[in-house]
Chain A
Amino acid sequence: MKALLHIKTIAKRELTGYFASPVAYVFIVIFLLLTGFFTFMVSQLFGRGEASLSAFFLWHPWLYLFLVPAVGMRLWSEERRSGTIELLLTMPITAWQAIVGKFLASWLFLALALALTFPVVLTVNYLGHPDNGVILCGYVGSLLLAGGYLAVACMTSALTRNQVISFILSVVIGLLLILAGWPPVTQMFEQWASPWLVEGIASFSVMTHFDGFQRGVLDTRDLVFFLTMIGFCLFTTGVIIRGHRAG
């Protein structure tokens, strides 16, 4: 019970921190503008003649690639740079409560930004009869995808006091996780590598696992993939922080 209370207190502080600075508002505006731009202008949602949000979700891995690290880069690096980590970790809490609390706050923030894309859902419902189950599934996948990237950003931000380095590292890791299963790359590999190797590499890609959600398939394997990814990265964050403290 106490653990949950601590996590809640930390998450609340972190969230208030986002909204106390312009970061939150800038992020939300840019996120909405970009999703709108890619969905309506690049993918031509109106011109496709189909009542679905595939044109909307298609862009999420690429958008998150840059936007999620921007949210997550300060999580621990700022804490270390300003020295508040010493304050936080000498309070009567465990390190994992702090890690989970901070992660949940940022994830909740991303969920809020994602929820604010609801006009797109209203639009396709107004224009036609989309399968709202598929749309919901897409949103679940998108949220998990954001969580996966965020956990990576959380991990890289624990590595360094410098937010820029933290940002670049998580973008690079995110890019690798996309490219490993991106069709143009897998096709290139297929020409010389055995299929099981290509598939093996692709199974580590967020693209492979996000694909199902877009099509409305809620596969437990995809679910487990993202949750494992989050768990692994947060665990690693804990190990890194422990390493810093032990010297």
Chain B
Amino acid sequence: MIKVQNLTKQFGPKTAVSRVSFTVERGEVLGFLGPNGAGKSTTMRMLTGFIPPSEGSIQVGPFDMLEQPIEAKRLIGYLPENAPLYADMTVYGFLAFAAEMRGFSGDAKKQAVQRAVEMCFLESVLHQSIDTLSKGYRHRTCFAQSVIHDPDVLVLDEPTDGLDPNQKHEIRELIRRMGQKKAIIFSTHILEEVEAACTRAIIIDRGQIVANGSPQELKQKSEMAGAVTVHVVNASAAEIKQRLGAIAGARKAVIVREEPPRIIARVLPQGAAADGVLARQVFEALAQPGWKIEELHTEEGRLDEVFRRITLPDTTQETQKP
């Protein structure tokens, strides 16, 4: 549905986005991750035809965004960052306007508005002025305008920003449900959101793609991926460390915490181990008379760790500059 190639955007001497390429097919939900100022919003603005790229091409369905912008834009629903709205309108007035702009009129317009209102739970504020709405409702109103024409492609810039946990959950569910039939791209810096709603994630840092894969694949890049954590009671820490360190597939064994009489230890694997192999080895190594294993589990890896490792925080970025 979406094919982006070598997308580059320069603002004066500053390169905001540099040679970004990716594709999103129908049925995919692509999470766009990155620290603030990494170029997420700029990429989305180019994708939706708001700003022209300095270089590169954007293909939406069969249309090229630069050659046939109107046709391409027709296929896209867009929720810009911070959910901008015409504050002087009512929710109904605004959605009716959006529907008209998308070519609906008469009964079809009413139905389109009705459908979007039901999808985003806006019935109770339908005739309220937008400037009196809470942030959650404002966000949902803007979200409703992006799906009013049931678009094939949805581009959502931080769709859950500023919402409370329940609302976040609702929006995530909505994205996941719609993702089965549409091509969706959404940006966020909430990592759990990526795991909850995405089929694939891209991490972008300082304008460049630094990782691209399913949330599972990304988690594999974590140092923690495949590590085995074990809770043992009535044992000596030094002996545990020594025994665990001697395991063939272990790169390193550490004592995470001591909570007498309990000791929590972790073994990091040497490369990618087969499922359950390391856990079995750990179990065998610690099967000593008197020692009691209370808990034993294999870590999946953690996205936040991967994220931190491959994106540099703003502060180091400043100090690294010559």
A residues near B (Cβ < 8 Å) are: 2, 5-6, 9-10, 13, 16-17, 20-21, 82-84, 86-87, 89-94, 245-247
Contacts and interface: CB of A to CB of B under 8 A. Distances in A.
Interface in B18-64: 45, 48-52
A6 B101 contact: yes
A247 B51 contact: yes
Contact of A13 (B74, B89, B103): B89
* Majority secondary structure of chain A interface residues (helix, strand, loop or mixed): helix
9 contacts: A9-B100, A9-B101, A16-B89, A17-B89, A87-B78, A87-B80, A91-B98, A93-B70, A247-B9
Contacts of A93: 70, 101
A86 B86 contact: no
A86 B100 contact: no
A90 B78 contact: yes
Nearest to B149: A92
B130 to A, nearest CB: 10
Interface string B57-100: 00000000000011101101010111011111100010001101
Given A82-B84, A90-B76, A246 B97 contact: no
Contacts of B48: 90
The winner among A83, A86, A89 for most chain B CB atoms within 10 A is A86
A245 B102 contact: no
Contact of B145 (A17, A21, A86, A87): A87
B86 A90 contact: no
Contact of B86 (A2, A13, A246): A13
For the complex of A and B, list the 3 residue pairs with the smallest distance between their C-beta atoms, beginning with the closest.
A83-B84, A247-B11, A92-B73
Contact of A17 (B76, B88, B100): B88
A9 B142 CA distance: 18
B164 to A, nearest CB: 22
Contacts of A84: 84-86
Interface residues of B, number: 36
A245 B51 contact: yes
Interface of B: 9-12, 45, 48-52, 69-71, 73-74, 76, 78, 80-82, 84-89, 93, 97-98, 100-103, 129, 142, 145
A216 to B, nearest CB: 41
A87 B87 CA distance: 13
B80 A86 contact: yes
A86 B50 contact: yes
A21 B87 CA distance: 10
B86 A17 contact: yes
Contacts of A94: 69-70
A74 B231 CA distance: 65
Contacts of B102: 91-92
Given A16-B89, A90-B49, A91-B102, 4 more contacts: A2-B103, A9-B100, A87-B78, A247-B9
Nearest to B98: A91
A41 to B, nearest CB: 35
Contacts of B101: 6, 9-10, 91-93
A82 to B, nearest CB: 5
Nearest to A89: B50
B97 A9 contact: yes
Contacts of B86: 13, 17, 82, 84
A6 to B, nearest CB: 7
B88 A20 contact: yes
Contacts of A247: 9-12, 51
A86 B42 CA distance: 12
A94 B73 CA distance: 11
Contacts of A86: 45, 50, 78, 80, 84
Nearest to B86: A84
Contact of A246 (B49, B51, B129): B51
Contact of B73 (A5, A17, A21, A90): A90
B79 to A, nearest CB: 9
B153 to A, nearest CB: 12
A20 B89 contact: yes
Contact of A90 (B10, B50, B85): B50
Nearest to A20: B88
B70 A13 contact: no
A246 B52 contact: yes
Contacts of A13: 86, 89, 97
B50 A21 contact: no
Contacts of A91: 73, 98, 101-102
B144 to A, nearest CB: 12
A93 B74 CA distance: 9
Contacts of A245: 50-52
A9 B103 CA distance: 10
Nearest to A23: B88
A33 to B, nearest CB: 25
